[in-house]
Structure 1
Amino acid sequence: MSKIIIKPAERTDNIKYAVRDIVVIANEAAKSGKEMLYLNIGDPNLFDWQTPRILIEETYKAMLNNYNGYAPSSGIKSAVDAIEKEAERKGIKNVQDIFITTGASEAIDICLTALVNEGENILTPTPGYPLYTAIQSKLKMYENPYYLNEENNWQPDIEDIKRKINDKTRAIIIINPNNPTGALYSKEILEELIELAIKHNLVIFSDEIYDKLIIDDKEHISIASLNSEAPVITFGGLSKNYMAPGFRIGWGIVSGNRTVLNDYIEAINKLLRARLSANHPEQYGIAPALLGDQSHLQEAKEKLKKRRDMTVEMLNAIEGISCVSPEGAFYAFPKLKFVKDDYKWAKELIKAEGVVTVPGSGFGQVEGTSHFRIVFLPPENVLDKAYNAIRRFMQTYEE
């Protein structure tokens, strides 16, 4: 009897996730007994970072109180109210809807699904987080990347964005602070983005999941705070600022002109109702997280500053590598000056030194350039060992 091959859906053909795909190669290298240094996944809990205890206690209490069934589709009231106060803190006015999701990634997926038809496009930052291009493939949108300017501290290239907007463009994505570059966007750039969005009737998706992890005491500006009429969805969550990625709790804040947004908000809520609810007990951690003691953030920023400074200094000292200093989050996106194939470089680095980074091609980059992403969450002794290993590797690497 001949075997029948089950063919997967074509929408999965171009879905890649470089952050975890590289782990397959790392797992093979680890089998040899080599010491592995993982700088690839932005999970604080893998290193010396702790979830604030109040989040754990409130979630545990909710479980003991049997809040283990379905939650309301948009989230429990105490959590939604806390997110509304968070929107006020960020300066966001004219809030039209708030909803809680299974991580910010589900919020992004739902909002894109509710907006974009097959054959249309969204402007995605390049480099940028690969979730957006994965959803793009799933929804059969066509690619429309815009570049971040490495020569201008990885700020969005406004002129490139203007060239890329067409009659099929529905939205523009910003990630601020950016993953993978750690760039923090200026007020002037954000205002120009709003102007373009209003002119071309685009929804702005603002991924602000790292908004409280700003280094050097610089100010994070939420784009929605700059214009109360512009259609903006601001994404946040507990995973990064509150060191709880495993809680899978995120949210979206819809702001702007109600008349413009009304039908779109209902479409979002149709999808929210269809998937029932986000994790229930973990939602009881939202209010104490957002409204309670924030002292863990100061400690986190002090640790990140030391590790950021060490990263930039040591990588810039390596011949063939240059690194723009990140201003937020916990990523850097160094440039490989004389490397043509950054995937091959990252793979050979794993095999030779056990250092796991993510090739820049997995995030998108200007054609003809090569980069890699570093996560500088690990302790200084681990980073020191990893960067010295990269230095040794660069001294002998040939394509």
Structure 2
Amino acid sequence: SSGYQSCREAVAAYYNCPEAPLKAQDVILTSGCSQAIELALAVLANPGQNILVPRPGFSLYKTLALSMGIEVKLYNLLPEKAWEIDLEHLESLVDEKTACLIVNNPSNPCGSVFSKSHLQEILAVASRQCVPILADEIYGDMVFADCKYEPIATLSTNVPILSCGGLAKRWLVPGWRMGWILIHDRRDIFGNEIRDGLLRLSQRILGPCTIVQGALERILHRTPPEFYHNTLSILKSNADLCYAALSAIPGLQPVRPAGAMYLMVEIEMEHFPEFENDVEFTERLISEQSVFCLPATCFEYPNFFRVVITVPEEMILEACSRIQEFCEMHYQGAEGTQDLECDK
């Protein structure tokens, strides 16, 4: 089902603002944010159409789309610009079969947070091309003190948006399986077709957990502010520690995160010639140092790896120390690389 009326009202009240007004009928409750993304994709795109997906990006988008017969086109994010979207590349991918643009902000795996001006540029592309947006905002408000999170719907005047979110990340309860879709369509571009489609799709299974729905109003409106503050303080401290430690290691180039729970690190593969790619690098890191980092090939972005910054501080420091030991053991400077090539 789409969720109890009182619970949809609670979510609408929590996210409602003058720039992006919401009522209960604009909310569909789901079994976690993953189901929200699945329903949003299913209602926006038909088999044979295509969607625009960030690279690097959360792998679920591609998995779901391909299972529905939807083509995936990958647009580039730019690490040298704190993972902003390459807008020219994005717009070049749009064609008559493009059904929607996925925007993930804050980002998994990048830990990036788009500025207001960049979000406006993204909206300008979507407006010119008449492409709706599926906004994956599960990490909304999980940004560090020197950044500000802007829900993309608050900046849109004419681009219809389905915003997907949930309890899992900000409230740290992933197993509770409570997500939602917020329908932002002030100009009624979606019409009844999208709303009716979402309602029907949500009724295929029982959907959101009944017990968690009973607690949802209290969770949203009575969680003390210090809970959010403490969570972000730990994430920011861990991000700073991890960034500083990895920046000092020859052959690695971390990109400073601004929110979410992740940090991406470039591997200068020319200095690690015994490894063919990021997958082999991270596999050896596990076997030799018992440190697990996800190779960014998983996110369609080779020669990077992702670090999760949610673990205790002492574990972050120990992991970084082991990564340093691993890199020092395998690093080859320019001369070493040249010698290796001569040996071949």
Residue by residue, what CA displacement relative to the aligned partner does 1:223-251 show, whole Å, maximum 9, x if unpaired?
Answer: 10012432101111110100100001110
| More displaced stretch, 301-310 vs 276-285 | 276-285
Scaled by the length of structure 2, what TM-score is found? 0.90
What is the SS of the residue equivalent to 2:233?
Answer: helix
Aligned mates of 1:355, 1:273 — CA distance in 2: 42
CA distance in 2 between partners of 1:233 and 1:103 (Å): 15
**CA 1:75/1:228 → structure 2, altered by over 3 Å: closer, same or farther?**
farther
The corresponding residue for 1:373 is: 306
Q: 1:335 aligns with which of 261, 266, 282?
A: 266
Bigger Cα displacement from structure 2, 271-280 vs 176-185? 271-280
- % identity of equivalent residues: 29
Shift of 1:255: 0.7
Of residues 225, 232, 236 in structure 2, which corresponds to 1:294?
225
Which residue of 360, 363, 386 maps to 2:299?
A: 363
Moved over 3 A (4+): none
1:324-357 Cα shifts (integer Å, max 9, x gaps): 1100111001100125510111111110011011
| Contact 2:251/2:331 (8 A) holds in 1 | no
Describe the SS at the equivalent of 2:193. helix
Partners of 2:157 and 2:12 in 1: how far apart? 15
Q: How many Å separate the matches in 1 of 2:201 and 2:291?
A: 41
Greater Cα offset, 136-145 or 384-393:
136-145
Say whether 1:350 aligns with 2:273. no
Paired positions, count = 324
Q: Tell me the residue number matched to 1:30.
A: none
Q: Does 1:284 align with 2:220?
A: no
Alpha-carbon distance in 2 for matches of 1:316, 1:90: 42
Cα-Cα RMSD: 1.7
1:121-200 aligned at under 5 Å gives the runs 121-200=50-129
Question: Is the alpha carbon distance of 1:304 and 1:94 closer, same or farther for their aligned partners in structure 2, counting shifts above 3 Å?
Answer: closer
CA distance in structure 2 between the partners assigned to 1:335 and 1:274 by the alignment: 42
Match of 1:258 in 2: 188
Aligned match of 2:319 in 352, 366, 386? 386
Q: C-alpha displacement at 1:198, in angstroms?
A: 2.1
Q: Does 1:106 align with 2:29?
A: no
Confirm or deny that 1:75 pairs with 2:3.
Answer: yes
User: 1:259 Cα deviation (Å)?
Assistant: 4.4
* 3-state SS, counterpart of residue 147 of structure 1: strand
Shift of 1:258: 2.0
Given that 1:91 and 1:222 are in contact with CA atoms closer than 8 Å, whether structure 2 keeps it comes out as no
Q: Specify whether residues 261 and 341 from structure 1 end up closer, same or farther in structure 2 by C-alpha distance, changes over 3 A only.
A: farther
| 2:28–2:198 Cα contact (<8 Å) kept | no
- SS of the residue 1:146 aligns to: strand
Q: Distance in 2 between matches of 1:341 and 1:262?
A: 48
Distance change in 2, residues 1:217/1:289 (3 Å): farther
- CA offsets 1:132-190 (integer angstroms, 9 cap, x no match): 01112211222200011111000111111011111111100111100001000011111
* Corresponding letter in the other structure for 2:98: T
- 2:244 corresponds to 1:313: yes
Q: Is the 8 A contact 1:170 1:201 kept in 2?
A: no
The higher-RCO structure (CA 8 Å, 6+ apart) is 1
| Structure 1 residue 90: Cα displacement | 8.6
Deviates more, 1:132-141 or 1:92-101: 92-101
Looking at structure 1, the residues matched to 93 and 306 of structure 2 have their Cα atoms a distance apart, in angstroms, of 26
Contact 1:358 1:374 in 2 (8 A): yes
Q: Can you list the C-alpha shifts for 1:82-106, whole angstroms capped at 9, x where unaligned?
A: 1111222594236662111000100
**In the alignment, what sits opposite 2:255?**
324
Find the counterpart in structure 2 of residue 45 from structure 1: none
Say which SS state the counterpart of residue 255 (structure 2) adopts: coil
Matched position secondary structure for 1:79: helix
Which of 125, 132, 157 aligns to 1:203? It is: 132
Query: Is this contact kept in 1: 2:136–2:164, CA < 8 A?
Result: yes
Show structure 2 runs of 5+ residues with no match.
Answer: 333-344
Query: For the Cα contact (< 8 Å) 1:229–1:255, is it kept in 2?
Result: no
Q: Answer whether contact 1:181 1:326 (CA < 8 A) is retained.
A: yes
Report the CA distance between 1:221 and its aligned residue: 0.3
CA 1:164 to 1:259, structure 2 compared with 1: closer, same or farther past 3 Å?
Answer: closer
Residue aligned with 1:124, SS? strand
Match for 2:120: what amino acid? E
* Distance in 1 of aligned mates of 2:149 and 2:10: 20
Q: Distance in 2 between matches of 1:89 and 1:258?
A: 18
Does the 8 Å CA contact 2:77/2:85 hold for their aligned counterparts? yes
* AA at the equivalent of 1:356: F
| Cα distance in 2 for residues equivalent to 1:315 and 1:285 | 41
> 1 CA distance for matches of 2:67 and 2:84?
28
Q: Quickly say closer, same or farther: Cα 1:350–1:127, change in 2 above 3 A.
A: same
8 Å Cα contact 2:12/2:26 also seen in 1: no
- Paired with 2:67 and 2:137, the residues of 1 have a C-alpha distance of 23
Report the CA distance between 1:107 and its aligned residue.
Answer: 0.7
- Contact 2:12–2:22 (CA<8 Å) still a contact in 1? no
SS in 2 for 1:123: strand
Q: Give the structure 1 partner of residue 198 of structure 2.
A: 268
- The answer to whether the 8 A contact 2:293-2:306 is kept is yes
Give CA deviations for 1:20-50 in whole Å, capped at 9, x if unaligned. Answer: xxxxxxxxxxxxxxxxxxxxxxxxxxxxxxx
**1:378 Cα deviation (Å)?**
0.6
